[in-house]
Amino acid sequence: MSTVICPGSFDPITKGHLDIIVRASKLFSRVIVLVSKNPQKTTSFSEQERVEMIRAVTGDLPGVEVDCYHGLLADYARQVGAIAVVKGLRAVSDFEYEFQQSLANKKLNPELETIFLNTNSKYMYLSSSIVKQIAAFGGDIADFVPPAIVQPIKTRLSKGE
C-alpha cells in the first residue's frame, strides 16, 4: 500500500485542491489530506472545521483520509509510512516555494519524495485567499469550491467572523 500526503492549510479547500486530491487518489492507494498549521497564515476556519469540510467533499473517494498535525511534515510522513508528498503547482512562484520545502523535507526525512502535479489550467488562478475575498464581499463562490461547502463558507465570511 503506497501512502502519500497532500498537505496544506485548506482555508478553505477549493476545487483546485480537490482536483489534486482526486488525481493523487488515482495514483496511490492511500492519500492523507493533511491540514497543517502554517504559522505565517491567519486562518478563517478552525482546524476542525477545515477537516470537516475536507471530509464532506472527499468522503466518496476510496483511500482518502483526512488528518491534522502540528509538527514537521517530514516527521508526520515517517509516522504514517508515507513515501511521498503530493503538491499542486499553479505557477513558477509556487514551484520556488515548494521546491525549497521539498529540499528541507528531504534533508529531514531522506526517504520522503515530493511529487508535483500541475494544476488543471481551469484552476491556475484559484486560491483560498481569492475564495475568501470574494465570499467576504458577497460574491458567488460556487465555481471555486465544492457545492457541499459553499454555504458554510458564505455564512462564516459574510459575517466577518
Catalytic residues: 17, 41, 90, 128
Binding residues for ATP: 9-10, 17, 88-90, 98, 123-129
Sheet holding 3-8, edge to edge: 64-69, 30-36, 3-8, 84-89, 113-118
Q: Which cell numbers in the block locate residue 57?
A: 467533499
CA dist 132 and 79 (Å) reads 33
Asked whether the beta carbons of 118 and 89 are under 8 A apart, the reply is: yes
Phi first, then psi, for residue 66 (nearest 5°) are -125, 135
CA distance 69 to 24: 20
| Integer Cα distance of 48 and 125 in angstroms | 27
Say how far apart CA 120 and CA 128 lie, in whole Å.
16
Q: Which residues fall in the annotated binding site?
A: 9-10, 17, 41, 73, 87-90, 98, 123-129
From the annotation, which residues make up the binding site for substrate?
9, 41, 73, 87
